[in-house]
Amino acid sequence: MNIEDKLVVSVINGLKVLYGQDVPAAQVQLQKTKKEFEGHLTLVVFPFLRMSKKGPEQTAQEIGEYLKANEPSVAAFNVIKGFLNLTIASSAWIELLNGIHADKEYGIIAATDNSPLVMIEYSSPNTNKPLHLGHVRNNLLGNALANIVMANGNKVVKTNIVNDRGIHICKSMLAWLKYGNGETPESSGKKGDHLVGDYYVAFDKHYKAEVAELMEKGMTKEEAEAASPLMNEAREMLVKWEAGDSEVRALWAKMNNWVYEGFDETYRKMGVSFDKIYYESNTYLEGKEKVVEGLEKGFFYKKEDGSVWADLTADGLDHKLLLRADGTSVYMTQDIGTAKLRFADYPIDKMIYVVGNEQNYHFQVLSILLDKLGFEWGKSLVHFSYGMVELPEGKMKSREGTVVDADDLVEEMVNTAKETSNELGKLDGLTQEEADNIARIVGLGALKYFILKVDARKNMTFNPKESIDFNGNTGPFIQYTYARIQSVLRKAAEAGIAIPAEIPVGIELSEKEEGLIQMVADFAAIVKQAGTDYSPSIIANYTYDLVKEYNQFYHDFSILREENEAVKVFRLALSENVAKVVRLGMGLLGIEVPDRM
């Protein structure tokens, strides 16, 4: 039981003894004491004046005296008007630390057989290009969210829907047929996703040249685009694909497999994984079936040209296209089909989609349609909507090949970490293998932390150089503090100092030490809040604040040189638990922490 809960019980008992009244716990308001007053926690006594029939000061004085006499965790109190400021005894802080010390996974709630099942969809790449910086934010948010939802006692299924069909895929295929000369990942030494992405860029280049040529002959831009032989060939290829043409399907399968191998390597490097992957090529037909079923039930309507629509004006939205006149599906159809397959595979209680904020309207519509079609979680689906990532230079465009590629970014981060660490002498005395591994952990930690510390809803600018700084609100700063604590604990072990399972009470703590215990204890509430708000940034910024506080403590107090043995052991235990919470917090963000650095 934490200190606040204990105090609430004691206050309730005190009010019963003093004024003969039963008070619900919700009426007992404790808050952190303001900096300018002495004390840790402040009780607001105004709600109790009706029962005491006395002034605020006298009421506060009486409750204070009762607590001082009957509650061991209260060492002293003072009264300022109707506020009772309580000073918590050192022994209570040490007991609080002992409780945290005993729990290896402090703040993390394990799922049980009866826990709700939450499905989280993230990544959702297209198979015509490699993953880029925008996907990096998506993957890191999705992965962190899955960890946080799981840490709040839910069962979680991590899922990905791959957009593996459509005109954009045909563009890469056609360009490879025309200009590829049979090039493969093996023959070119390129990752498969990069190779296919190059042909997507090539298609765009040739298409633009065609349009320019036709416009020179006197066509308008619209006419030239409609007349482009290359674009018409791509459209014909899509029709053949839909009809199941064996040659087109074979080429599609071959090129998609190149891309999947490339994606898997990028996911592995980023430390991201999925429990189940769905493919749009399987889900879009299921979606068509559900739309036809909705049409039969009168949820949807058909226009004269044969297209199928949903009328959502009653829900304050407009009319939404579900099937085109030629019978081909749109994204919405595919999302309905994917929902159907997922619901058949898993007993989903809640569904979270990690998708950029340009799709806000799409998910409003999807929620209503899924609800109409009878999916229990349709109404309560969560669109975890996040902002765009830009670079200091501005926006990215994949067609023009001006995108920051995920693989290049990861490599650049690891190399920068290696250079920075070498300059600071942090890799001295390590084997090449150890140094490389630390550079990988630090480089990826810098990237992940920089992205996850920003509120997901906001647009952000990613600055690689700034993210790798060993000072300030960065991943490496937090990792370095963790490694520093591990170094202290190793030296203690070498000196034969053991940290007991229970730290004995009986030493006086400084304000700094009490504050650190309180911050470590806050971790459980932080994990809960991050789960309620779907917000990884809460954990990132809490971890930074904790580390900043610990570094001040480390600077101001001696640990291994402390002469009082009991104080030394307490400070080692405090350090060990700070490190534990840092490791758990960073782990929820998908970030490793190195034992040495």
The tens digit of pLDDT for each residue in 214-247 reads: 999 999 999 999 999 999 999 999 999 989 999 9
Would you say residue 197 lies in a domain? yes
Q: Name the DSSP class of 27.
A: G
Using alpha carbons, select from 246, 288, 251, 243 the residue that is nearest to residue 171.
Answer: 251
Q: In sequence order, what are the residues at sequence separation of 6 or more whose Cβ sits closer than 8 angstroms to the Cβ of residue 558?
A: none
Residues 553, 453 within the same domain: yes
pLDDT in the model for residue 357: 93
Statement to judge: residues 559 and 453 lie in one domain: yes
Domain count across the chain: 3
Establish if 387 belongs to a structural domain.
Answer: no
Residue 117 domain flag = no
- Of the residues 54, 88, 122, which one is the last residue of a structural domain? 88
> Does residue 242 fall inside a structural domain?
yes
Here the CATH number for the domain that contains residue 39 is: 3.30.1360.70
CA distance 480 to 211: 55
Burial letters 220-232, b for 16+ CB under 10 A, else e: eeeebeeebebbe
| 534 and 434 part of one domain | yes
CATH code for the domain of 574 = 1.10.730.10
Same domain, 30 and 170: no
Same domain, 78 and 206: no
Query: Could you say which of 250, 270, 290 is where a domain stops?
Result: 270
375 assigned to some structural domain = no
Separation of alpha carbons 86 and 39, rounded Å: 5
- Coil, helix or strand for 155? strand
Cα–Cα distance measured from residue 186 to residue 184, given in angstroms and rounded to the nearest whole number: 5
The three-state secondary structure class of 461 is strand
> 43: part of which helix (H) or strand (E)?
strand 41-44
SS (H, E, C) 266-279: HHHHHCCCCCEEEE
Q: Which domain holds residue 213?
A: 165-270
Do 436 and 576 belong to one domain? yes
Do 184 and 62 lie in one domain? The reply is: no
Same domain, 554 and 425: yes
Do 428 and 560 lie in a common domain?
yes
Which of 64, 88, 112 is at the close of a domain?
88
**CB neighbours (10 Å) of residue 423?**
9
* Residues of the chain where predicted confidence (pLDDT) is lower than 50: 396, 398
Residue 331 domain flag: no
**Rounded CA separation 171/176 (Å):** 9
Residue 34: inside a domain: yes
User: Which tokens is 410 given?
Assistant: 């990861």
In a domain, 457, yes or no: yes
CB hemisphere CA count around 105 (13 angstroms)? 10
